[in-house]
Every structure is written in structure tokens, then in C-alpha cells.
Amino acid sequence: MSTKGKRFLSVPVLAVFSLMCFVYYSSIFVFLHDWLNLQSSPGTLNAYLFSLFAFLSLFSFFSCVLTDPGHVPSSYAPDVEFSKDNEAPKKCDKCFVYKPPRTHHCRVCRRCILKMDHHCLWINNCVGYWNYKAFFVFVLYATMSSIYATVIFISCVFQKDWDPIKGSSLKIFYYHEGNRAKWLAMKSGQSYRHPFNIGAYRNITSILGPNMLKWLCPTAVSHLKEGVSFPTLRDNS
């Protein structure tokens, strides 16, 4: 089995996949069937729509698991003139390679990851440069599917006159980066803005791409380059 395939051999990944299958089955064949009857036109339409969201969620989830987040190219050499505040180029003390901006070493993957956001236990993979969009789109589709499933569940419960059926819980996804720099700036009485925060629109297009028609496709990443340099606030000044 390939290295990518082995990522599925993880209890959290299998748990997420099982949960998605359970929510899909119970939403369609239990709650939706009791609410509208799958043989009716409204029931069939809602079943198709929910199945579409479920498929998109599953496809995005697989993309997160299988896509390599990005490693430092063997040919990478830091640009000394670009180094910030005349600092020496940073070198990983574990991989012994120079680290491009926003690159961090993952203790779980045991290598440096380009634009590392965090190591996600639920996909058994890092969220980095090449699968950041897939992760973002997965969260979006999973949220939409969860809301849809909740609507189906509540509608069924109202029709059943509040039968004691227990629903499923939603998971909260969040990011964490730059908190220490923000804390140090606030401590010294200075205002802080993340150096790679280039504005809402450019932040979005840097992840999802310039073509809005491809925003919701997790594998449309032709706009990504090498992942070793990123636009900063200084570029706009």
C-alpha cells in the first residue's frame, strides 16, 4: 500500500468516514423518509440535494487526506536580500534544510511543511500549502451538510411531535497562528497586523484562486506556485 493510502489506516480518519456515512444514512433513510417519504417528489429532490452535499464533503475529505501538504524543494536556496530585518535565513535543526517563509517542522510528519497551518488528527495529515484549499472547502461543505441534516432532523421531529430522537453533534474547526507575535505587540503597546494578511479579497484568492467558478473545487489549485514565497504587507507599501 502506498504512503498516501496508509493515511486512511488511522482511527480518527476511519471515525470521520464512519460518522459521515452514519449521518448520511440516518438523514436520508430515517429522518427524511419519515418526514417526506422518499417516494414523493419533495422527498426525492431533498435526497438528491443532500446526496450532492454529502458527495462533495466526502470528495473534499479524501482530497485533504491524500494531498501532500508540500515539502521544501531540494533546490530551494534562501534569498539573503529578501531576509526580513537583516536576519539570517532560518534553518531547521531537525531536517537541516533552509525554511522558506511560513514553513514549520511537523513533529508528527517529521518533516518541514510549506505554509503549515496545523497537523490535523482527523485527516492524519498536515494542513499546508497544497491541501489548504481542500481543507477549507471540506469545512465549508461539511458545515452546509450538517446544517442541511439538522433541518431534516428538526423537521422530522416537529412532524413526529417531538419524538425522543437524539441528533448528532457538530464539530468546530479553527485555526491558530501568530498569537505570540500579537501578544508581544500588545504588551509593548503597539498595534499588530499579521505580515501575510494582505486584505480580505487577496487572502481569499490566494487560497481559492482568481477564478470564482473554481472556488468550490478542492482540486483546482493551478494558481499555486512553489510555496516558498508569499506576498506581504510590505509589497503594498
What's the average model confidence in pLDDT over 93-97?
Answer: 85
Angstrom distance (rounded) from CA 134 to CA 128: 10
* pLDDT digit string, tens, across residues 49-62: 999 999 999 999 99
pLDDT of residue 52: 96
* pLDDT digit string, tens, across residues 147-197: 999 999 988 877 765 444 444 433 333 364 456 666 666 667 777 677 777
- Which residue out of 64, 92, 109, 120 is catalytically annotated? 120
pLDDT of residue 219: 87
Instruction: Domain ranges for the chain, please list them.
Output: 3-69+130-163, 164-213
**120 an active-site residue?**
yes
- Please return the burial class of 103, using the count of CB atoms within 10 Å of its CB with bins 0-12, 13-18 and 19+: buried
User: Does residue 80 have a pLDDT over 50?
Assistant: yes
Q: Which three cell numbers stand for residue 176?
A: 491558530
Least confident of 36-50, 64-78, 177-191: 177-191
pLDDT of residue 166: 44
Helix, strand, or coil (residue 234): helix
What's the average model confidence in pLDDT over 68-83?
Answer: 78
* pLDDT digit string, tens, across residues 14-29: 999 999 999 999 999 9
